[in-house]
Structure 1
Amino acid sequence: MGDRQQKTLLKAASWTEREDYDGLVLVSAPDQAKSQKVLHDAVSEALTYDAALTSELAVLPLRDLNTRLVHSPTGPIDSDYGDVRLFKKAAADGIKRALKSGMKAPLLVLEEHSRFPRAELVTLLGALEALYVPIQVRESDPSKVQKIDRIGVLTSCKQKTEKLVQLADVLESGRRVACDIGDADPERMAPQRVEEYVRKVFADGTIKLDVLSDLQHLTKEFPLFEAVNRAASVVERHRGRVIFLEYDPKDNVTETLFLVGKGP
């Protein structure tokens, strides 16, 4: 990715590497088993003192490990209406609480859930979303580019963790590009600057980039776009563009996807 893009700083970790991190973050549902006994015991003991911790965040000491645990529960999941997004929200809340506690290198513990096979991925993506820093903040204060130094990821299997980290890193990188473009101030991401940003992000050539900006061509070939662009086009920096991004992998392609979107 280009130099304006945040890094996710993800690393697949094992339980024996926990000392490389300054705290643990656990997201779990009330009916979810915990793979590490020390985490199960810590949460179970806390619940004997405060039943509200089935749905309330808590920072718990793990004295035997000389570290701390942020436990972010999903709360009870309704059998009819509850869905995997509860894990995403709990993960975001947990990471934010970890930051407040002073963690700079949290280890995120992901647990399997029988009802939600994607719970681990959704949990990880929720944590990464909470770490996103808007582009205007990053540009105005470079010291705020990253909220953490790194984030470790732990599942029941190192091989599975590595695949999960790779997938999450790709998905989050794309999401952050979309957020930079779509959530920024309209003047910061006026069409001309969107083009500049996209060219920098995909400068390595992995993604084929084609930008249409000639007004006569747009008027002839994209009349509906021209109708929207008509008022803006009188100001050069506000003149719209049609941007084509194409990823054509070297491997055998079995599926073709077309994604169409409208910018601000």
Structure 2
Amino acid sequence: MAFPKVEVVESYSTAHNDYDAVILVGDFDQHLPPEFADFVARAKQSDRRVGQQPLLLAADVFGGRLITAPTGPLSRDFDDVRTIADAAGLGARIAQMAGVTKPLLVVFGTQDDARYGQAEAVAFWGLCQALYEPLEAREALGEETIETITTVGVVGTLDAEWLSAVESGKRVARDLCGTEPERMAAPRFAEYCQQAFAHTPVKVTVIDDIQQLQHEYPLLMAVARASLKVERHWPCVIRLEYNAPAAEQTLMFAGKGIVYDTGGADLKTGGHMAGMSRDKGGAAGVAGFMKTVAEMRPETVSVVAELGVVRNSIGAEAFVADEIIKAHSGVRVRIGNTDAEGRLLLADLLSHLRVQAANYPRPQLFSVATLTGHAALAKGPYTALVPNGPARANGLHDKLWEAGEVYGDPAEVSWSRREDFSFVAPRTKADDVLSSNNGPSATTRRGHQFPMAFLTIAAGLDRHGNDSDHPLPYVHVDIAGSGVEGGDWQHGKPSATPVTCFAGAYLHK
């Protein structure tokens, strides 16, 4: 599981001579660092593209190669740190094509703007995002063959361990999210996690006994029912647990890991099934964050995660709309649409976490999922955060929003409203909650907010609001719009969200 080794140097002048190129990132219409200003000025005299688009220049710098990676303006109201990640990534691709193996990354012109307080770190992660190659490609062709940049120097006052820990988590998240449905079928997803957390302080428990799953995760097993005919597609729940030595708070995650989503009996048609091997992005992101936790080993933050890893198959055994299924919480769930399957397994996972929460200090619950097309429509490339009352009272959404802004993994907040709870209210006494309507979320009003109401009821979290004796903060995190680059779920590179957002909020001092 290699990625470029990171080295931090205080300044360009103190860097050693082993680097074979410099990648210069910033607004080239502003004041340039003096070490590079003359080279850029001379190059501009013969090529007006310099400073306007990424280029490789011959210059008296490390390796004789200066790669200019312009960001354009950074001071406008709508500018944010992602522009720096994008520019660093473009520069990295040029470096790789040029045969560079050890570039030095220099970011300039951001010191006076709080939006860019983590600019150098974000630039490194943007470089790694651009250079990442899929797991299937690495296994077929060899990592060393296709990921040829081995070391990256970063100029700044940074913690190399922190940079590496976050990128390690992001790589796990990309691998788990982006890998095709047979290579990352549920048992192999679990196997990857076991290998990723071997010899770390994270305990991995895989629950794959079918009878136990049927008893303890009935909604999850309804989704998995049609997959039981094929042993290599059998479902599992993966529990990841890190116990901090002096825990002051506990993060508890439920991750949606639909390794392939056919839509079930409400079959996806019209080409909409392509890309549904990425419907495990929520579980992937949680596992990635847990990898960063394993590397950082925080003293005061414990983390518990349950990942529901399931294939939503079609067949004679498939569950269907109108079924009423009793959840782990005891709540009777009427199925509205089998393509709204992710919220079912999340409800069982959250119910387990709800029961366990009393055993941990200051528990905070999160569900992470590629849940709704509506989130992608309403929020575009941003993660949607939907907090409950106790989470609002504790400012959890603000903490995540602020971290996302500065660490380049941005989110936007949506509110849970009474209309959402009315939408999923039972129509008869035969059931307690409706899982969904029978239309696509993207064309349903409040299509990414009402699922949070369903999760609250189906997981029993409605008994833990601000009006209860034991309130539990809970934030639903929908990454359907932010989980892959460009919104292309079949071909887009997984973004590894929300690893950086959570790591910045809870792990970085």
Q: TM-score, normalised by structure 2?
A: 0.47
**Is the 1:55–1:76 contact (alpha carbons within 8 Å) kept by the matching residues of 2?**
no
Which structure is higher in RCO with an 8 Å CA cutoff and minimum separation 6?
1
Task: State the Cα distance separating 1:48 from its structure 2 match.
Answer: 4.7
Is 1:69 the equivalent of 2:70?
no
Q: CA RMSD in A?
A: 2.2
Is 1:11 the equivalent of 2:1?
no
Task: State the Cα distance separating 1:126 from its structure 2 match.
Answer: 0.2
**Is the 1:73–1:90 contact (alpha carbons within 8 Å) kept by the matching residues of 2?**
yes
Task: State the Cα distance separating 1:28 from its structure 2 match.
Answer: 0.7
Task: State the Cα distance separating 1:127 from its structure 2 match.
Answer: 0.6
* Matched letter for residue 149 of structure 2: I
Task: State the Cα distance separating 1:85 from its structure 2 match.
Answer: 0.8
Give % identity: 35
**Aligned match for 2:212, one of 217, 222, 229:** 217
CA distance in 2, matches of 1:255, 1:60: 50
Aligned length: 252
218-227 or 140-149: bigger deviation: 140-149
**Is the 1:18–1:107 contact (alpha carbons within 8 Å) kept by the matching residues of 2?**
no
Instruction: Show the counterpart of 2:27.
Output: 29
Provide Cα deviations, 1:86-127, integer angstroms capped at 9, x if missing partner: 111111100001111221111111336122212211111101
Task: State the Cα distance separating 1:30 from its structure 2 match.
Answer: 4.0
Instruction: Show the counterpart of 2:255.
Output: 261
Is 1:183 the equivalent of 2:178?
yes
**Is the 1:56–1:72 contact (alpha carbons within 8 Å) kept by the matching residues of 2?**
yes
**Aligned match for 2:230, one of 235, 246, 264:** 235
* Matched letter for residue 147 of structure 1: T
CA distance in 1, matches of 2:100, 2:117: 29
Change (3 A) 1:43 1:254: farther
Gaps of 5+ in 2: 260-509
Instruction: Show the counterpart of 1:245.
Output: 240
Provide Cα deviations, 1:203-250, integer angstroms capped at 9, x if missing partner: 103211111111122122212211211111221111111111122233
Change (3 A) 1:125 1:98: same
Task: State the Cα distance separating 1:137 from its structure 2 match.
Answer: 1.4
Which one has a bigger Cα radius of gyration? 2
Change (3 A) 1:262 1:112: farther
**Aligned match for 2:50, one of 34, 50, 53:** 53
CA distance in 2, matches of 1:65, 1:119: 22
**Is the 1:112–1:119 contact (alpha carbons within 8 Å) kept by the matching residues of 2?**
no
**Is the 2:20–2:62 contact (alpha carbons within 8 Å) kept by the matching residues of 1?**
no
Change (3 A) 1:38 1:185: same
Change (3 A) 1:239 1:12: same
Instruction: Show the counterpart of 2:152.
Output: 151
**Is the 1:112–1:120 contact (alpha carbons within 8 Å) kept by the matching residues of 2?**
no
* Matched letter for residue 177 of structure 2: G
Change (3 A) 1:47 1:254: farther
Change (3 A) 1:194 1:53: same
**Is the 1:71–1:94 contact (alpha carbons within 8 Å) kept by the matching residues of 2?**
yes
Change (3 A) 1:46 1:209: same
Task: State the Cα distance separating 1:133 from its structure 2 match.
Answer: 2.2
**Is the 1:29–1:76 contact (alpha carbons within 8 Å) kept by the matching residues of 2?**
yes
Task: State the Cα distance separating 1:187 from its structure 2 match.
Answer: 0.5
Task: Describe the SS at the equivalent of 1:196.
Answer: helix
Q: TM-score, normalised by structure 1?
A: 0.86
**Is the 1:25–1:70 contact (alpha carbons within 8 Å) kept by the matching residues of 2?**
yes
Provide Cα deviations, 1:2-43, integer angstroms capped at 9, x if missing partner: xxx123311223533341111111111246554x41213323
Which structure: greater strand fraction?
A: 2
